[in-house]
A = this chain, B = another copy of it.
Amino acid sequence: MPRLRLALAQTNPVVGDLVGNAAQIVQAARAASEAGADVLAVGEMALSGYPIEDLASRPSFLATASRAVATLAESLQDEGLGDLVVIVGHPDGPWEPRLLGTSNAPTAIAQNCASVLQNGRVEARYAKHHLPNYSVFDEYRVFIPGDDLLVLRIKGADVALIVCEDLWRDGGPLGRVLEADAGLLVVINASPFERDKDEVRVPLVTRRAVETNTTVAYVNIVGGQDDLVFDGDSVVVDGTGAILARAPQFAEHLLVVDLDLPDANPDADLPGNVQRVSLQVPERALGHLAAEVTQLPDDNEQLWNALVLGLRDYVRKNGFRSVILGLSGGIDSAVCAAIAADAIGADHVHGVSMPSQWSSDHSRSDADDLADNIGLHYSTEAIAGLVEPVETQLALTGIAAENLQARMRGVILMAKSNMDGHLVLTTGNKTELSVGYSTIYGDSVGGFAPIKDVPKLLVWELARWRNAAAAARGETPPIPEGSITKPPSAELRPDQTDQDSLPPYELLDAILDAYITRSLGRDDVVALGFDAETVDFITTLVDRSEWKRRQGAIGPKISGMAFGRDRRLPITYRPTE
């Protein structure tokens, strides 16, 4: 029974940075080699970052990426790591476009590949067969599907290789894994986090392992890339469904596991569309390694970690060193400040209190307390003297005057960003974005929206969780109790509260969940038992604020239906329903 030592590396690539990403892979290979591994697998597109979007349609990018694969193989050899079998994901091309009749339409010229590197060479290559084109994925737009299955014979065991979506769908290469009777199936992935996805992903891996009676090794990238956060959570499951190894979420990590695999049948007829490549690896005398099996933390901690990594990587990968945000004393800005401090350190977080005549005493004191608790840089800019000349010159009243206050705060934050180079964070939550309860070019200004995909009720829940986690570690809870318990208010006029304009958040978030996350129509939402008039009011607000959302900052997706590339709806829309 062949024993293979397999290493799975969760690297954190930056889209486009072929040199930097390759260096991460070389570093992982060195660690894998030192751990005595025979085979190292890194994630889907670990060499290019993921998703590369329409870079996949740029011939020069593909040519550069293809050269980078060969260069990586040579670098591994040069570093004395040539013995190690390294499986790496990358785009490949440019291929001749699939011709579309007389159309001059652009068409895919790339494949989504896993290459097998050893001894300074690319020994074999697999192209992803099933191309996801739903949710946040547009792979059918930019990739040509592959058709063959690749089986590597290593140490007398057969190792099949597929990419991400190939595991999720029946038929195609997965159907041939059974026929090929491989002992190990390696799946490389770029699978973004969303809430409860671990409840789908690991059961899927387990089911596939049992169905095919094959050990399945699943490796995922980590890190934030624009609105996606890749969570790692790589896992190895054997043919009985037992979890042999599992890596932590949201961290670069090398998972090493010893696998006792069935002997390959050297005389087996391979089914059609299966390519087999034999690779020699040196025999090593190593004892059995006890693999780690990381337990996932609870739901709120996972969500918090996703938000922290999403923000940290946006800041880091885009060359920022600090962030700035308005601190209103309310819950949203408090949670954003706490996320930012966890992501990049309080010393890189700048909070600005911008009180107006309508700001309550408790707002100012809650903002002060937040700044103290977290230890961030804190300043105050009163807006009355800036707002008054505009209000007077333009004779503004009502909503126009209210929005002016929010816009002047936006002007202040952007001016400070322009002076000092901070990234501006916008602190709107998903509930606000859903119904357009914000001032465009006012509180919406900023390059990143940390809680864009967090509904209001969940903002409160995460605040309580974060405070409790601090208390459990003997630290000061960051978020003032007043920010959590007081009625939410925009404080743009005297004694205003959110509930002057909106239903209670418990009701609002429930309707939004039905209409947005579950894509139910107006009638179907009413059929759940909600008041028809309230449903009409809310769904109309959602439809009419699409134009604002289109102009909003990106932020990390943590739900099954985030605004942005996940939910694509027209601005111009007259609902009949």
Residues of A participating in the B interface, judged by any CB pair closer than 8 Å? 14-20, 51-55, 57-61, 64, 68, 100-107, 132-135, 138, 140-141, 168-171, 174, 200, 204, 207-208, 224-226, 313-314, 317-318, 381, 385-386, 389-390, 393-394, 396-400, 403-404, 407-408, 410-412, 414-416, 418-419, 440-441, 445, 447, 519-524, 547, 550-554, 567-577
With the chains together, A407 CA to B441 CA distance in Å?
9
- Residues B400 and A572 in contact, CB atoms below 8 Å apart: no
Chain B neighbourhood of A135, CB < 8 A = 105-106
- Residues B204 and A102 in contact, CB atoms below 8 Å apart: yes
- Residues A19 and B576 in contact, CB atoms below 8 Å apart: yes
- Residues B394 and A416 in contact, CB atoms below 8 Å apart: yes
Most interface-central of A200, A414, A551 (chain B CB within 10 A): A551
With the chains together, A314 CA to B52 CA distance in Å?
32
With the chains together, A275 CA to B515 CA distance in Å?
39
Given contacts A103-B168, A107-B134, 9 further A-B contacts (CB under 8 A): A15-B572, A59-B521, A101-B168, A140-B140, A317-B574, A394-B416, A396-B419, A411-B441, A550-B554
With the chains together, A17 CA to B577 CA distance in Å?
9
Chain B neighbourhood of A520, CB < 8 A = 58, 60
- Residues B415 and A396 in contact, CB atoms below 8 Å apart: yes
Which residue of B15, B547, B551 contacts A570 across the interface (Cβ within 8 Å)? Answer: B15
- Residues A441 and B445 in contact, CB atoms below 8 Å apart: yes
Say how far A421's CB is from chain B's closest CB, in angstroms.
Answer: 11
State the oligomeric state as a number of copies: 2
- Residues B447 and A547 in contact, CB atoms below 8 Å apart: yes
Least CB separation from A18: chain B residue: B576
Which residue of B51, B169, B208, B519 contacts A58 across the interface (Cβ within 8 Å)? Answer: B519
Chain B neighbourhood of A174, CB < 8 A = 101
Chain B neighbourhood of A134, CB < 8 A = 105-107, 141
With the chains together, A53 CA to B550 CA distance in Å?
14
- Residues A394 and B381 in contact, CB atoms below 8 Å apart: yes
- Residues B447 and A68 in contact, CB atoms below 8 Å apart: no
Most interface-central of A107, A318, A398 (chain B CB within 10 A): A318
Say how far A415's CB is from chain B's closest CB, in angstroms.
Answer: 5
Say how far A503's CB is from chain B's closest CB, in angstroms.
Answer: 22
Chain B neighbourhood of A318, CB < 8 A = 571-572
Say how far A425's CB is from chain B's closest CB, in angstroms.
Answer: 13
With the chains together, A445 CA to B441 CA distance in Å?
7
With the chains together, A450 CA to B169 CA distance in Å?
44
Chain B neighbourhood of A521, CB < 8 A = 58-61, 64
Which residue of B14, B171, B400, B573 contacts A15 across the interface (Cβ within 8 Å)? Answer: B573
CB-defined A-B contacts under 8 Å, sample of 9: A16-B574, A53-B568, A55-B569, A55-B573, A105-B134, A105-B135, A314-B572, A381-B393, A397-B419
Given A16-B573, A551-B553, A572-B15, verify A170-B414 contact (CB < 8 Å).
no
The 10 A-B pairs with the shortest beta carbon distances in the complex, nearest first, are A60-B521, A400-B418, A101-B170, A17-B574, A103-B168, A101-B169, A18-B576, A441-B441, A53-B568, A400-B419
With the chains together, A241 CA to B224 CA distance in Å?
55
Which residue of B169, B551, B569 contacts A54 across the interface (Cβ within 8 Å)? Answer: B569
Chain B neighbourhood of A138, CB < 8 A = 138, 141, 568
Chain B neighbourhood of A400, CB < 8 A = 415-416, 418-419
With the chains together, A60 CA to B521 CA distance in Å?
5
Which residue of B412, B519, B523, B554 contacts A390 across the interface (Cβ within 8 Å)? Answer: B412
With the chains together, A208 CA to B416 CA distance in Å?
60
Chain B neighbourhood of A576, CB < 8 A = 16-19, 64, 68
Say how far A177's CB is from chain B's closest CB, in angstroms.
Answer: 13
Say how far A342's CB is from chain B's closest CB, in angstroms.
Answer: 20
Which residue of B53, B100, B394 contacts A415 across the interface (Cβ within 8 Å)? Answer: B394
Say how far A248's CB is from chain B's closest CB, in angstroms.
Answer: 23
Chain B neighbourhood of A170, CB < 8 A = 100-102
Say how far A448's CB is from chain B's closest CB, in angstroms.
Answer: 9
- Residues A51 and B106 in contact, CB atoms below 8 Å apart: no
Most interface-central of A52, A208, A317, A386 (chain B CB within 10 A): A386
- Residues B445 and A226 in contact, CB atoms below 8 Å apart: no
Least CB separation from A13: chain B residue: B574
Say how far A11's CB is from chain B's closest CB, in angstroms.
Answer: 15
Say how far A560's CB is from chain B's closest CB, in angstroms.
Answer: 9
Chain B neighbourhood of A404, CB < 8 A = 411, 415
Chain B neighbourhood of A550, CB < 8 A = 554
With the chains together, A570 CA to B574 CA distance in Å?
31
Say how far A185's CB is from chain B's closest CB, in angstroms.
Answer: 14
